[in-house]
Amino acid sequence: MSTVIKGGTIVTADLTYTADLKIEDGRIVEIGPNLSGNDTLDASGCYVMPGGIDPHTHLEMPFMGTYSSDDFESGTRAALSGGTTMVVDFALPSPGQSLLEALTMWDNKSTRANCDYSFHMAITWWSEQVFNEMQAVVQDKGINTFKHFMAYKGALMVDDDEMYSSFRRCAELGALPLVHAENGDVVAQLQAKLMAEGNNGPEAHAYSRPPEVEGEATNRAIMIADMAGCPVYIVHTSCEQAHEAIRRARQKGMRVYGEPLIQHLTLDETEYFNKDWDHAARRVMSPPFRNKQHQDSLWAGLASGSLQVVATDHCAFTTDQKRFGLGDFTKIPNGTGGLEDRMPMLWTYGINTGRLTMNEFVAVTSTNIAKILNIYPKKGAILVGADADLVVWDPKRAKTITSKNQQSAIDYNVFEDKQVTGLPRYTLTRGVVAIEENTIKTREGHGEFVKREPVTAVSKALSTWKEVTAPRKVERTGIPASGV
């Protein structure tokens, strides 16, 4: 059985050209003119692109006294309907829990996935057991990324001692540390102060997490990574201060990556000043939305390459769940959805405005992260032999985003009423059509776990270079006999 995608324009991270594309057994087998096969998908007037990869989701995650409401079935269905064909979710051991035990829990949940997926492993505590299990996670389980929370004090947060230990272990194992960069100690004090002053509404959430707490933590994570001799990936980069730290580090030759979210690119802090409590609380996430100056900085980073990936941090809570925080903003479950809307929103606000080129769009939604995660060209590529995870993108298809027609399980959408132009005509997961315009053909359980090999370090970080080029111990000729 073969499928041919016919009459489209292929767009990759570096090329735009006209060709047909033939698929067999879930893979691309031929690219060229006038191909034929058993089935034909009409791509005339469309762009054929690598399916999106969202490297930052929290599906069915226990968090802040509840569980995020999209599971691997509804979450990956939402992903496919918006042109995303792979997600990377966070396996989150509770402090004290074995990493491998947590991974089994995530393995069990993910059996329902409609598209391929992988996991990042979170380091939420430190011990000899964690040190040892990290090796099994990388070498036996095919996970080459470890997430660290510098915020959520008293819950998920790790301190600098734990982070430095884990980063050094990542360096040994060829793994990439990921960081949620916010200074959790400062956030905790600001939260207490705001509550004591009677400022308990969702707007206080934004005041408790100013850009400075993110900028400080981003700088700290980058410096600690450099001292540990590993690269570092900063998740949900939302502000100029964090972007500046990443930019500066990259300019010095450090392998530092930054990931803005589609929410931060397109929604701003005024959402928290909405008179309607539910409206504001539904948009509570960390880091919070920022002002236009920060948004412009993120767009500029995507265009210039100082920021590499657009993700969602999809962590969807219903309105009822958000209401846990009535009277105390610190109890509003943090998180927003976006899996279904990331690609159409980025196309509308990036391509249709002229901020990004189509090749940049493919790079930041798919190819760059495939390379960072070491799964390129299986994913993120249109090449013979690559998985046929593809989106046939109709730049003229338009809709108004509304929760009434969404795949996500929650009862609202943070992009409600936004007009988008640019939507999938078809989404294919390993050659199988999962979405055909408005028809959902997803198959529960079709998704497979994608193993990721460790990366051999090709260079040491700057501070490590210094260490090896300077003398380790100075042979002294003059040593005073004793102190006074």
CA–CA distance, 98 with 344 (Å, rounded to integer): 39
The site partner of 279 among Zn ion, ligand DUC, none (C-beta below 5 to 8 Å per kind) is Zn ion
Residues in the chain: 484
Q: Which is nearer to Zn ion, 226 or 313 (CB)?
A: 313
- Asked whether position 180 contacts ligand DUC by CB under 6 A, the answer is yes
- Which of helix, strand or coil describes residue 72? helix
**Residues sharing a CB contact under 8 Å with residue 412, sequence separation 6 or more, in sequence order:** 278, 282, 319, 403
- Asked whether position 334 contacts ligand DUC by CB under 6 A, the answer is yes
What is the pattern of x (binds ligand DUC, CB under 6 A) and - over residues 311-330? --x-x---------------
Cα angle vertex 234, ends 179, 62, to 5°? 45
Q: Which of 82, 335, 337, 422 binds ligand DUC (CB under 6 A)?
A: 335
Structural tokens at position 336: 């927003």
Q: Which of 144, 286, 295, 312 binds ligand DUC (CB under 6 A)?
A: 286
Q: Which is nearer to Zn ion, 109 or 279 (CB)?
A: 279
To the nearest whole angstrom, how small is the minimum distance from the Cβ of residue 286 to ligand DUC? 4
Q: Which is nearer to Zn ion, 71 or 313 (CB)?
A: 313
Q: Give, as ranges, the residues between 74 and 93 that touch ligand DUC (CB under 6 A).
A: none
Q: Which of 71, 133, 214, 313 binds Zn ion (CB under 5 A)?
A: 313
Q: Which of 180, 342, 378, 379 binds Zn ion (CB under 5 A)?
A: 180
Across the beta sheet with 145-149, what order do the strands follow?
Answer: 52-57, 84-91, 116-122, 145-149, 176-180, 232-234, 256-258
- Asked whether position 255 contacts ligand DUC by CB under 6 A, the answer is no
Write the CA distances from 377 to 13, 205, 219, 311, 373, integer angstroms.
Answer: 12, 41, 32, 19, 11
- Asked whether position 58 contacts ligand DUC by CB under 6 A, the answer is yes
To the nearest whole angstrom, how small is the minimum distance from the Cβ of residue 274 to ligand DUC? 18
Closest CA to 174 of 464, 456, 399: 456
Q: Which of 27, 153, 220, 279 binds Zn ion (CB under 5 A)?
A: 279
- Asked whether position 124 contacts ligand DUC by CB under 6 A, the answer is no
Question: Got the DSSP string for 120-179?
Answer: EEE--S--HHHHHHHHHHHHTT---EEEEES-STTTTB--HHHHHHHHHHHHHHT-EEEE
Which residues are near ligand DUC by CB under 6 A? 58, 180, 285-286, 313, 315, 334-335
Which residues are near Zn ion by CB under 5 A? 180, 279, 313
